[in-house]
A and B are shown apart, each in its own frame.
Chain A
Amino acid sequence: MSTKIKIDPITRIEGHLAIEAVVDDGVVKEANSAGTLFRGFEIILQGRDPRDANRLTQRICGVCPTAHATASALCLDEAFGLTDKIPDNGKLIRALIFGSNFLQSHILHFYHLAALDYVDAVGAIGDVAPFVPRYEGDYRVTGEVNAELVNHYVRALDIRRKCQEMLSIFGGKMPHNVAIVPGGVTEQLTEDKITNFLWRLNEIRDFVDNTYIPDVIAVAKVYDDYFGVGPGCKRLLSYGGFDLPAGRLFKSGVVSPDLKLEPFAKEEITEDLKHSWYANSGSGKNPAQGQTEPELKKKDAYSFLKSPRYKGTVCEVGPLARMVNNYVQGDETTKVLVDSVLGEFGAGVDALYSVLGRHAARAVEAKIVGDAMVGWLMQLKPSEPNIVESEIPEQGEGAGLSEAPRGAVGHWITVKDKKIDRYQVISPTAWNGSPKDDKGQPGPVEQAIIGTKVKDKDNPFELVRIVRAFDPCLACAVHLLDARGNKLRVFKVV
Chain B
Amino acid sequence: MAVTKYPVIWLQGAGCTGCSVSVLNAVSPRIQNLLLDELVPGHQLNLMFHATIMAGQGEPVIEVLKDTEKNRKGGYILIVEGAIPTAEGGAYGSIGEQAGKHLTIQQSVQELGKNAMLTIALGTCAAFGGIPAARPNPTACKGVQTVFSEKGIETLVVNIPGCPMHPDWFVGTVSAVIFSGVGALELDSLGRPKLFYGQLIHENCPRRADFDKGKFAQKLGEPGCLYKLGCKGHYTSADCPLRQWNNGVSWCVKAGSPCLGCVEPEFPDGTSPMYEKITLEDLICPQK
Bitwise interface map of B from 160 to 178 toward A, beta carbon under 8 Å scored 1, else 0: 0001100000000000000
> In the complex the two chains form, is B30's CB within 8 Å of A158's CB?
yes
Q: Which residue of A lies closest to B105 (CB)?
A: A37
A-B interface contact total, Cβ < 8 Å = 267
Question: Beyond A6-B58, A11-B52, A181-B220, is A37–B252 a contact (Cβ under 8 Å)?
Answer: no
Chain B 2-14, CB-CB to A under 8 Å as 1, else 0, gives: 0000000000101
Chain B CB within 8 A of A125 CB: yes
**Whole-angstrom CA separation of A108 from B17 in the bound complex:** 13
Q: Determine the chain A residues whose CB is within 8 A of the CB of B32 once the complex forms.
A: 154, 157
Tell me how far the C-beta of B269 lies from the nearest C-beta in chain A, rounded to whole angstroms.
9
From A293, which residue of chain B is reached at the shortest CB distance? B138
Query: Does B57 lie within 8 Å of A172, measured CB to CB?
Result: no
A125 neighbours in B (Cβ, 8 Å) = 36
Known contacts: A125-B36, A296-B91. The answer to whether A59 contacts B25 by CB under 8 A is no
Residues of B within 8 A of A11 (CB): 51-57, 61
**B-side contacts of A169, CB under 8 Å:** 249-250
Min CB–CB distance A451 → chain B (angstroms): 22
The reply to whether A9 and B164 form a contact with Cβ atoms under 8 Å apart is no
Quote the shortest CB–CB distance from A27 to chain B (angstroms).
20
Q: Shortest Cβ distance from A47 into chain B, in angstroms?
A: 8
Contact residues in A for B100 (Cβ distance below 8 Å): 6, 488
Q: Are A61 and B25 in contact (CB under 8 A)?
A: no
Interface residues of B in 203-260 (CB under 8 A from A): 219-221, 223, 245-247, 249-252, 254-257, 260
Our pick among B88, B221, B246 for the contact of A296 (Cβ within 8 Å) is B88
Do residues A51 and B274 form an inter-chain contact, with CB atoms below 8 A?
yes
Known: A9-B61, A51-B275, A188-B223. A130 touches B246 (CB 8 A): no
Q: Would you call A171 an interface residue if the criterion is a C-beta within 8 Å of the partner chain's C-beta atoms?
A: yes
Interface residues as binary, A38-64 with B (CB distance below 8 Å gives 1, 0 otherwise): 111101100011011001100111110
Give min CB distance, B59 to chain A, whole Å. Answer: 4
Q: A130-B53, A165-B247 are in contact. Are A175 and B93 (CB under 8 A)?
A: no
On whether the beta carbons of B16 and A60 are closer than 8 Å, the reply is: yes
Q: Restricting to A7-42, which residues have a CB under 8 Å from any CB of B?
A: 7-16, 36-41
Number of interface residues of A (CB under 8 A): 87
Q: Which of A48, A134, A172, A389 contacts B257 (CB 8 A)?
A: A172
A132–B21 Cα gap in the complex (Å)? 21
Q: A168-B246, A184-B221 are in contact. Are A52 and B17 (CB under 8 A)?
A: no
Contacts of A184 in B (CB 8 A): 221
Residues 257 to 288 of chain B near chain A (Cβ within 8 Å)? 257, 260, 268, 272-276
| Chain B residue at minimum C-beta to C-beta distance from A40 | B138
Q: Of residues 164 to 181 in A, which have CB atoms within 8 Å of B's CB atoms? A: 164-165, 167-179, 181
Chain B neighbourhood of A175, CB < 8 A: 16, 18, 21-22, 164
B273 to A172, Cβ gap below 8 A?
no
- Contact B55–A131 (Cβ < 8 Å): yes
Q: Is A475 an interface position by the 8 A CB rule?
A: yes
Q: Cβ of B94 and Cβ of A16 under 8 Å apart?
A: yes
Check A464–B254 contact: CB distance below 8 A. Answer: no
Complex CA distance for A36 and B101, rounded to whole angstroms = 13
Q: Which residue of A lies closest to B164 (CB)?
A: A175
One of B112-120, B128-136, B143-151, B186-194 contacting the partner: B128-136
13 chain-A/chain-B pairs, Cβ below 8 angstroms:
A6-B58, A8-B62, A38-B138, A44-B131, A63-B17, A130-B50, A157-B31, A160-B24, A165-B25, A165-B249, A294-B138, A490-B59, A491-B59
In the complex, besides A164-B25, A169-B250, 17 extra interface pairs with C-beta distance below 8 angstroms are A11-B57, A16-B95, A37-B93, A39-B85, A43-B138, A48-B272, A59-B18, A60-B16, A62-B19, A130-B55, A154-B32, A157-B31, A173-B246, A186-B221, A296-B88, A389-B219, A477-B96
The 8 closest A-B pairs by CB, nearest first: A62-B18, A172-B255, A40-B138, A186-B256, A178-B257, A49-B273, A134-B55, A173-B245
> Which B residues have a C-beta under 8 Å from some C-beta of A?
12, 14-22, 24-25, 27, 30-32, 35-36, 46-62, 64, 85, 88, 91-97, 99-100, 102, 130-132, 134-139, 141, 163-164, 219-221, 223, 245-247, 249-252, 254-257, 260, 268, 272-276
